[in-house]
Amino acid sequence: MNKIELKSLLTDQALGTPAGRIVRTLSERGSLSAAQLARLTGLAKSTVSTALSELRRADMVVEVGSDSGGSVGRPATALTLNPRAGTCIGVLVGQTEIQVIVADVSHTVLSDHSVSLEPDYPPEQAQDIVRQMIAEAYAGQWHSPAGLLGVGIALGGPVNPINGQVLRGGLPRWVGRDVRAMFGPMFDAPLFFDNESNCAAIAEMTWGAAQGHDDFIVLTLDLGVGGAIVSGGKVMRGIAGGAGEFGHVVIDPDGPLCRCGNRGCLEVYANFRPYLAEAEERFGEPLRVNDVVRRALDGDAVCGALIARAGEAGGRGLGLIGSVFNPSLVVIGGRLAMAGDMLMSPLSQSFERYSLIKREDVPEEARTVLKRSHFSENGACMGAVGLVLRHRRHETAMHLN
Amino acid sequence: MNKIELKSLLTDQALGTPAGRIVRTLSERGSLSAAQLARLTGLAKSTVSTALSELRRADMVVEVGSDSGGSVGRPATALTLNPRAGTCIGVLVGQTEIQVIVADVSHTVLSDHSVSLEPDYPPEQAQDIVRQMIAEAYAGQWHSPAGLLGVGIALGGPVNPINGQVLRGGLPRWVGRDVRAMFGPMFDAPLFFDNESNCAAIAEMTWGAAQGHDDFIVLTLDLGVGGAIVSGGKVMRGIAGGAGEFGHVVIDPDGPLCRCGNRGCLEVYANFRPYLAEAEERFGEPLRVNDVVRRALDGDAVCGALIARAGEAGGRGLGLIGSVFNPSLVVIGGRLAMAGDMLMSPLSQSFERYSLIKREDVPEEARTVLKRSHFSENGACMGAVGLVLRHRRHETAMHLN
């Protein structure tokens, strides 16, 4: 089998065959044992065994060593797709940065680079930068763009999943532009796209804090306030790509203007920009979110207090999530999450305060669990890689994967 | 086949057999053609045909005439479960009323009665009334409690789906009581339960405005503000039964006290009680929601204006739903919905105002559709019947059906 055949095994049509289901599952999950494959695909163990023999003979599937996990007995052999069978590109087109990650189909990251940009950079600049960064990522590597299985784009704002049009609320200069038209012609491979919060949710369920969870919510606290909803193992996109925009719930119709055009959105009250401005005034120098977090972790009381206040404010978003979803798990993302307990502790308190259902009223197993994101800054871009590995079509209106 | 056999065909174990899948699908949907059954069960037409022959010979499935739907050609025969094979009871335990509906398994309502009660009536009174109403419903009828397949309870407040405990936010005097312990011993049949908004969503997808929709939101506007979330054909319950409580999102932490114990909930601003008080003052007599709606429809300008203002306020809830879910469909329920365009028109305007994604920014097919509930007042109690017809276990934590 060659690279063309891997592509054909990753199509939706191939899901009707055991080999297609196994390849898709390995693509989604990375490394798995034969027993795990049987459970996840719903195929009989003997069917999995036969198909795996063929896939291994064709060099499509390889062993990656043993994973005994500390248990007694013969360790199960872990299998992955052959890393040489193909690559995936994930691109983050963020508010103030562009990031490109190239990974192979065994989930190994081959390169990861990012550049910082001024806010409101023009879309044309993004196209040039992405083209150049991808060329550099492949230059002098064993892997080549010929084995490219797909490109995932994580956008710093909402995008219509059906027609690819960028919507208000994230990247003002991109509103109305078609993501597919901008990036599609660069590649001879399928293009997948979604907003960065939904991509972060994909990353959490694939490699992060939500592994094994089919129902959870992501809340991101950073310069903006965003989120994602995962229900039944699928990311909810909304009819026009606007699901999970927790930051744009209107709290006060007469409040300050939000960058989305409405007034008094949650984001206006819970984003980190005002705290950053306060920090800059105190320290007399420009600071970024990471700087404030690092200083707080190093013991700086001023920065610690700012993060605690941001956590308290972010709790309004968490309270909203509590009353709307009463979820089993909320993963807190965004760069503020790197502050650990300094953020999580006030956030939990404010969640408890603003929630309808109080912890003391329900047994342990019926309480919402809050977890910090597994990722510091790579979540969204890794999720863009995940869009390709999960091979989910952008045409699907209500669900992403 | 006898009634025992219908019960056994409605178990989850029976879903592995063609007869079990057909019976469950007919139970959920009412009447269907053989072709519809094949599509919905995923079974081959020949398999459906064979199983249907057996089920008809056993008198479990019967023909209900033809449904040509205005199309040309031979009309398809519609099939239902034999009405005599069993009954279901739906009970609404609401804020100020108790309602009992008995229906047979072909979805025909056999009796429907309700009584009005003072707010905060004691749980013991509800037990007595329910027992008596059910006895009366069966008295002198051909159907008997012996054929009872299950009882569904729609509660006027959140309830923990795992342990049956009533939670804050709906029925203050019931908080901490176990629904299963209160109503289970009355019946020799399985008990199903959920809050009234989730039950209303079941009714909308089974018989109402959301037929054929697997993803939609319900927003109820009445003396309280409630809602439900349906994702992938399932009602989201939340880890402790608190999903869809849109009315208890905290808008202003320093706002007026809400009946749930928190301050400044959406319900405080968007419920109809203050408007009712205003109407009473104007007319000098006590009025109920229905009275105000009827007067408005009869052309009374004062009542019309109150409903328009309530619609504008309710739009905050709708805006919240827009930014959180960006749903394809929202069904507006509660007694205010009976006012028709007098409510829907200001509600749509305020939805547009508070939403992140504006109508003009997306093509027609990517716009949220708002529909009025199909039900005037029976929705929640019919949904309680639907809980039984869909035979969904209360043990399922995250999803109802």
**Rounded CA gap, B323 and B358, in Å?**
11
Instruction: Give chain B's radius of gyration (CA, Å).
Output: 22
Q: Which residues of B touch A355 (CB under 8 A)?
A: 242
CATH at A70: 1.10.10.10
Rounded to the nearest 10°, the torsion over CA A86, A206, A165, A394 is: 60
Would residue A395 count as lying in a domain?
no
Per-residue pLDDT at A400: 38
Q: How close are the terminal C-alpha atoms of chain A, in Å?
A: 27
**Rounded CA gap, A338 and A319, in Å?**
21
A197: containing domain: 86-201+380-389
Same domain, A150 and A237: no
Query: Domain ends where: B30, B58, B84?
Result: B84
Per-residue pLDDT at B352: 92
**Interface pTM (ipTM) of the complex?**
0.87
Q: How many structural domains compose chain B? A: 3
Dihedrals phi, psi of B377, to nearest 5 degrees: -130, -5
Would residue B184 count as lying in a domain?
yes
When pLDDT is cut at 50, 70 and 90, the band that residue B377 belongs to is confident
Beta carbons within 8 Å of A361's beta carbon, 6+ residues apart:
B167, B168, B175, B240
When pLDDT is cut at 50, 70 and 90, the band that residue B398 belongs to is very low
Dihedrals phi, psi of A391, to nearest 5 degrees: 50, 45
Same domain, A103 and A74: no
Provide the token pair at B90: 């739906």
**Rounded CA gap, A225 and A204, in Å?**
17
When pLDDT is cut at 50, 70 and 90, the band that residue A1 belongs to is very low
Secondary structure class of B37 (helix, strand, coil): helix
Same domain, A250 and A287: yes
Of residues B358 and B12, more confidently modeled: B358
Would residue A16 count as lying in a domain?
yes
Question: With an 8 Å Cβ cutoff, are B356 and A324 in contact?
Answer: no
Would residue B101 count as lying in a domain?
yes
Q: Kindly report which listed range (A250-259, A325-334, B277-286) carries the lowest average pLDDT score.
A: A250-259
pLDDT greater than 80 at residue B71: no
Residues A10-49: tens digit of each pLDDT: 887 888 899 999 999 999 999 999 999 999 998 999 999 9
B172 to chain A, any CB pair closer than 8 A? The answer is no
Per-residue pLDDT at B75: 59
Residue B332 Ramachandran class (φ > 0 left, ψ -120 to 50 alpha, else beta): beta
Residues A50-83: tens digit of each pLDDT: 999 999 999 899 998 644 444 555 557 899 999 8
B146 to chain A, any CB pair closer than 8 A? The answer is no
Name which of B72, B74, B70, B9 is nearest B35 in CA terms. B74
B370 to chain A, any CB pair closer than 8 A? The answer is no
Same domain, A176 and A272: no
Question: With an 8 Å Cβ cutoff, are A260 and B356 in contact?
Answer: yes
* Block residue for tokens 């999995």: A48
Residues A110-164: tens digit of each pLDDT: 999 999 998 889 999 999 999 999 988 888 776 777 789 999 999 998 899 888 9
Would residue B397 count as lying in a domain?
no
Beta carbons within 8 Å of A305's beta carbon, 6+ residues apart:
none
Question: With an 8 Å Cβ cutoff, are A324 and B324 in contact?
Answer: yes
Same domain, B7 and B102: no
Same domain, A350 and A237: yes
Q: Is the pTM of this model over 0.90?
A: no
Q: Which residues of A touch B317 (CB under 8 A)?
A: none
Would residue B18 count as lying in a domain?
yes
Provide the token pair at A304: 């610690």
Same domain, B146 and B38: no
Q: Which amino acid, B313?
A: A
Kindly list the strands in the beta sheet with B329-333, ordered across the sheet, starting from the edge strand earlier in the chain. B234-235, B225-231, B216-221, B329-333, B369-372
Distance from CA of B162 to the nearest CA of A (A): 8
CATH at A103: 3.30.420.40
Partner B, chain A 251-310, Cβ-Cβ below 8 Å: 251-253, 260, 262
Provide the token pair at B357: 């994604």
CA A127 → CA A42, A78, A115, A132, B364, distances in Å? 42, 39, 13, 9, 29
A326 to chain B, any CB pair closer than 8 A? The answer is yes
Task: Report how many Cβ contacts below 8 Å link chain A to chain B.
Answer: 184
Same domain, A130 and A24: no
Same domain, B193 and B233: no
Question: With an 8 Å Cβ cutoff, are A325 and B357 in contact?
Answer: no
Secondary structure class of B1 (helix, strand, coil): coil
Q: Which residues of A touch B397 (CB under 8 A)?
A: 328, 366
Would residue A206 count as lying in a domain?
no
Q: Kindly report which listed range (A177-181, B11-15, B115-119, B393-397) carries the lowest average pLDDT score.
A: B393-397
Same domain, B358 and B211: yes
